[in-house]
Amino acid sequence: MIAFDLKDKVIVITGAGGVLCSEFARVLAECGAKVALLDRNYEAASQCTEALVAKGYTAKAYGCDVLDKESLLKVREEVRRDLGTCDILINGAGGNNPRATTTKEYYEPGDEEREDITTFFNLDKSGVEFVFDINFMGTLLPSQVFAADMLGKDDTSILNISSMNAFTPLTKIPAYSGAKAAISNFTQWLAVHFAKEGIRVNAIAPGFFVTNQNRSLLFDADGNPTARTEKILNSTPMGRFGESNELIGALLFLLSKQAAGFITGVVLPVDGGFSAYSGV
């Protein structure tokens, strides 16, 4: 029988104030881990931490910018002092930006001249750079900083958060799709790089889950599903959005040496069949 006992493991989670990663933090704390919740929004991470501490779990919140290596190094020292050296890193920070999102799905003649909507031709360069940075660099930099704690230790791993966009890009969001594809590729690269050191590196690729970042794209102001939601659900064989707790099995499996000790470099879809559906 596999027991998911993470007692005394120090787990660092970036983007920990979000819907999905705060759920990760809760479950991992329940498994006995000492959890460091990192987020640029300290208040969001702190609220989650307070709820965990109130239940007797070991957790601490840290304000941190995953794009600032000095900020990461400072927080690493604080985590070492408060909880110990990092055993597991979960790179959950990421997201999209409206400046890197086109208004329409398909090109129409004249789009190259329009300025009243966002087209492929006038995508904001800084917006695209922000999306690539927060997703890819926001995974690479924390990995550089916290993987240093894992060297020479047993049973360590890094878990990245990819996306269905990495397999098949969604319309309107070219930067986000490209950035998540980069994370999947980086997961494989880093898994090979650290294989002989014993640091396993894997990723989860969630399908469609309702989060604070995408809620406005999926539902209108009255809470009604948008046209994009209809498309998503029609392309998801299970016909619904995922629940955050439905990522937990994949999370615990990939972090468990007992269950997945010979697994590294994989990107595991958790998508209700989205990646398997051809549309016909």
> Active-site residue numbers?
176
Three-class DSSP category at 169: coil
Q: How far apart are CA 13 and CA 61, in angstroms?
A: 10
Q: How far apart are CA 234 and CA 98, in angstroms?
A: 24
Enter the tokens of residue 144: 């550089």
Sign of CA dihedral 157, 158, 159, 163: negative
User: How many Cα atoms are found within 13 Å in the side-chain-facing hemisphere of 110?
Assistant: 3
Instruction: Give residues with Cβ within 8 angstroms of 6, minimum separation 6.
Output: 28, 31, 32, 33, 88, 255
Q: How far apart are CA 120 and CA 8, in angstroms?
A: 49
Q: How far apart are CA 168 and CA 138, in angstroms?
A: 22
Q: How far apart are CA 157 and CA 88, in angstroms?
A: 5
